[in-house]
Structure 1
Amino acid sequence: MRYVRIRVTPRGRAAFHPLGERLAEDPDVIRGAIHQMDLLADGTGVMLAEARGDQERYEEILETSEHVLDFAVTGAEGWWYSYTHFEPTPLTERMVRRREESEAVMEMPVEVEEDGSLLITLVGDEANFADAMPPDADVYDVEMLSTGERPPEGDDPFADLTGRQREILDAAVRLGYYRNPRDATHEDVAERVGTTPSTVGEHLRKIESRVFSRFVREGGRADPD
């Protein structure tokens, strides 16, 4: 099993998506890692990412972005995590689909540098590494940082969630369960996904335990767990 560590830099822009560009242009917000990004059946995307700086300004940017459908932010001690439901651009959609279709595994999280570059580690058969990148070579540059033998070391915060738990989490975020103050209750989420409020409550407790508790930070920016 081989790995390759690469830096992917967008050309002529600060990010691969307009939301990322707005965040990059604001001096009070510093983007961190992208822990998960997936496309839903309706073509929209969901992303779990981290950032630091002015949290109120960060939330204001998400609130006013035409590309953001809904979001929830949690965290303290200077770092926070956002679960964002967004409209992907054709480029970002191609990037996510290529990652999903490739036989090479993209390890998560993906680090975001200040200039908008993404630090990505791919693991698998070396012959499949090129297939993991979208066919848009005119909009980004790729720099190989290191390569060698190594087993996968992915850290997917959603890996332990069942399909049903992902559905309930998505419904909770869309309905505003994680807003402050909350715009939805267990009953609202239960009605959306076709189950009971007690089942929703049980699933959300498990989700919060398995996902958000992994990002507890001690004394600054520590590793998850």
Structure 2
Amino acid sequence: MKTVRLTLRFDAETIHPMHRFVAESDAFESYRLVHGNFAGENDDNVFIFHVVGDADVYEAALAETDRVDDYELTRTGDRTFTVYVRDLPADVDTRLLEGLTAGSLVVLPPLEYRSDWTVRFSVVGESADLRAALEGMPDGIETAVDRVGEYDGADAAVGALTARQRETLRVARELGYFEVPRAAGVEDVAAELDCAPGTAAEHLRKAEATVIEALEL
């Protein structure tokens, strides 16, 4: 099976209103879809999101949108929460999900919703089905293929990381933090990220724990 890492860029007509709200707000740091059930035409889609940010701000916007049939928000920390959503799909959503789940295709969560109106995720499946999905993208959605390879399960570990955790690991690798012996320390990583050493150390610990948890050892 092949795996493709995609970035989809939505325009003003195709972006979901909650994605647009989070993208244009400074109250959020991470917005990821971690589980989903595509119900099909004429029914709700059911999704679970993990969010880092202001739960009150998010819930106020969620209560006002006409694209959500029902929801339940659960706070898991000072600035972390999960949201169970029954989403009312627009036509573009239905066509997009039908294309990405056709035939042999499987979308690998999490899906990372980003502030530049893009969504990043991986899809696994047979080459012909992957080509058909890319060729059949609805108008208003720009597609970029970031990586193509054979599926080996590695995407589960990478995809479980937040954008900040991936950035921290990338910087640490580039500086030599993981070399033996180490060519750089936490202070060097923090300087490159423009944050406190304690913050860099916390990002590294959480990223390493997330990767280990996602690996099937």
Q: Give TM-score, length-normalised by structure 2.
A: 0.64
Match of 2:52, SS state, is strand
Residue aligning to 1:110: 111
In the alignment, what sits opposite 2:24?
A: 25
Mapped pair 1:39 → 2:38? yes
Report the CA distance between 1:91 and its aligned residue: 0.7
Q: Give the paired residue count.
A: 163
Amino acid at match of 1:86: D
Match status 1:50 vs 2:50: yes
Match of 2:15 in 1: 16
**1:107 match: secondary structure:** strand
Residue of structure 1 in register with 2:187 after alignment: none
Task: State whether residues 6 and 121 of structure 1, in contact with CA within 8 Å, keep that contact through their aligned partners in structure 2.
Answer: yes
TM-score after normalising by structure 1: 0.62
Structure with the bigger percentage of helix? 2
Cα contact 2:3–2:150 (8 A) shared by 1: yes
Equivalent pair of 1:103/1:132 in contact (CA under 8 Å): no
Asked whether the equivalents of residues 50 and 82 of structure 1 are also in contact (C-alpha less than 8 Å), the reply is: yes
Give deviations 1:144-203, integer Å, cap 9, x for gaps.
211122234676xxxxxxxxxxxxxxxxxxxxxxxxxxxxxxxxxxxxxxxxxxxxxxxx
What is residue 125 of structure 2 aligned with on the other side? 124
Match of 1:223 in 2: 210
The aligned counterpart of 1:161 is: none
Aligned twin of 2:65: 65
Please name the residue that 2:143 is paired with.
Answer: 142
Deviations 1:106-128 (A, max 9, x none): 21111222212111212222222
Q: Please report how far the alpha carbon of residue 83 of structure 1 lies from its aligned counterpart in structure 2 after TM superposition.
A: 0.5
- Mark the CA change 1:134 to 1:94 in structure 2 (over 3 Å): closer, same or farther: farther
1:148-187 → structure 2 map (5 Å cutoff): 148-152=149-153
User: Which deviates further from its counterpart, 56-65 or 19-28?
Assistant: 19-28
* RMSD over equivalenced CA pairs, Å: 2.9
The percentage of aligned residue pairs carrying the same residue is 19
Q: Secondary structure of the residue that 1:109 maps to in structure 2?
A: strand
The question of whether the paired residues in 2 share the 8 Å contact of 1:68 and 1:85 is answered with yes
